[in-house]
Amino acid sequence: MQTQTPTDILSENYRFLQEHVHSQVGIVIEGDKHYLFESRLSPIASQLGLSSVNDLCALLRATRETTLSRRIVEAMTTNETYFFRDPGHYEAIRNDLLPRLKQERADTRKMRFWSAASSTGQEAYSLAMMLLDQGLASWNLNILGTDFSSRMVERASAGTYQQIEVNRGLSAPLLIKHFRRAGVNWQLSDQVRNMAHFETIDLRKSLRALGPFDLVFCRNVLIYFDATTKLQILEQIHGTLFRGGWLLLGGAETAFGYEKWFEKRLTGNAVVYVAR
Ligand SMILES: C[S@@+](CC[C@H](N)C(=O)[O-])C[C@H]1O[C@@H](n2cnc3c(N)ncnc32)[C@H](O)[C@@H]1O
């Protein structure tokens, strides 16, 4: 007899989903997270006219259909983000990285940045607004945003945000300066939007060709991976950075084994990883 949990996902389906998500996106879902699968996948089951997540698993097993697989996997990613998250990082960029880059790049007037795991784009656009604020509008600035989820990449590219999203981390002067009302939403100006472009990229793939960058944000994503995957990604990111370029990790993240590639440094209140 199959055991059933209170949320009704059969244990064999629970294991199937854990393995599927791990193999497709690298995310480790450990312990009893039935509620997580249930809450994220029930809406997909309903939209497909299925009565449960178990039926959704049966459909995926039977068809192995790529679109369905991606939809399920993307639903299991956590996309939480907001403008100017970890303000200490932005202060460190303004007070330490940018003054140095302005000097070093005085001839080419070029800087390149990467928001790896960019979700809905707030990280990339916060940086873009800050660069404009620092008088760099005439420079050749390029910000790449990437995410596994094509849904997130579409949203980031559109630069359209709900009221609740602009309420998080964005000051009133920046809202007025860079956004205009679009019905109930807010639309980012073309000037800021054109500074960034977004692509669908899995961080577990080869990343070197994306560089070279002066700064890589890789925040609040490594926490979802196992130790081996984390190290592989750190090595790849190191390969995309100029020597002396910065890697920024999320507040709760540490990078065990990073020493080969990065020197950990405190600047202001921020921890930065400087590429060796
Ligand atoms: C919590 S958000 C982080 C957003 C932003 N970096 C921040 O700190 O505010 C994590 C993002 O990582 C993305 N992600 C998860 N696994 C990924 C992978 N293997 N490759 C690329 N992106 C991934 C998710 O789709 C999600 O949008």
Q: State yes or no: pLDDT of 5 exceeds 60.
A: no
What average pLDDT does the segment 16-40 reach? 95
CA distance 240 to 64: 34
Torsion 59-63-68-74 (CA) sign: positive
Judge: domain 87-275, CATH 3.40.640.10. no
Give the chain's mean pLDDT.
95
Model confidence at 4, pLDDT cuts 50, 70, 90, reads very low
* pLDDT, position 8: 86
Take residue 263 and report the two structure tokens written for it.
Answer: 């020197």
Q: Is the Cβ atom of 86 under 6 angstroms away from ligand 1?
A: no
Q: State yes or no: pLDDT of 6 exceeds 60.
A: no
- Taking the centre of ligand 1 as the mean of its atom positions, its distance from the CA of residue 149, in whole angstroms, is 8
Domain 11-75 adopts which CATH fold? Chemotaxis Receptor Methyltransferase Cher; domain 1 (1.10.155)
- Considering only CA atoms, which of 108, 184, 198 is closest in space to residue 155? 198
Q: Give the amino acid at 232.
A: Q
Q: Is the Cβ atom of 13 under 6 angstroms away from ligand 1?
A: no
> What's the pLDDT tens digit per position in 169-214?
999 999 999 999 999 999 999 999 999 999 999 999 999 999 999 9
- Considering only CA atoms, which of 103, 195, 94 is closest in space to residue 140? 195
- Taking the centre of ligand 1 as the mean of its atom positions, its distance from the CA of residue 29, in whole angstroms, is 15
- Taking the centre of ligand 1 as the mean of its atom positions, its distance from the CA of residue 234, in whole angstroms, is 15
User: Do 11-75 and 87-275 fold alike per CATH?
Assistant: no
> What's the pLDDT tens digit per position in 55-64?
999 999 999 9
Q: State yes or no: pLDDT of 152 exceeds 70.
A: yes
Domain ranges of the chain: 11-75, 87-275
- Taking the centre of ligand 1 as the mean of its atom positions, its distance from the CA of residue 159, in whole angstroms, is 17
Q: State yes or no: pLDDT of 1 exceeds 80.
A: no
Q: State yes or no: pLDDT of 3 exceeds 60.
A: no
- Considering only CA atoms, which of 82, 23, 25 is closest in space to residue 250? 82
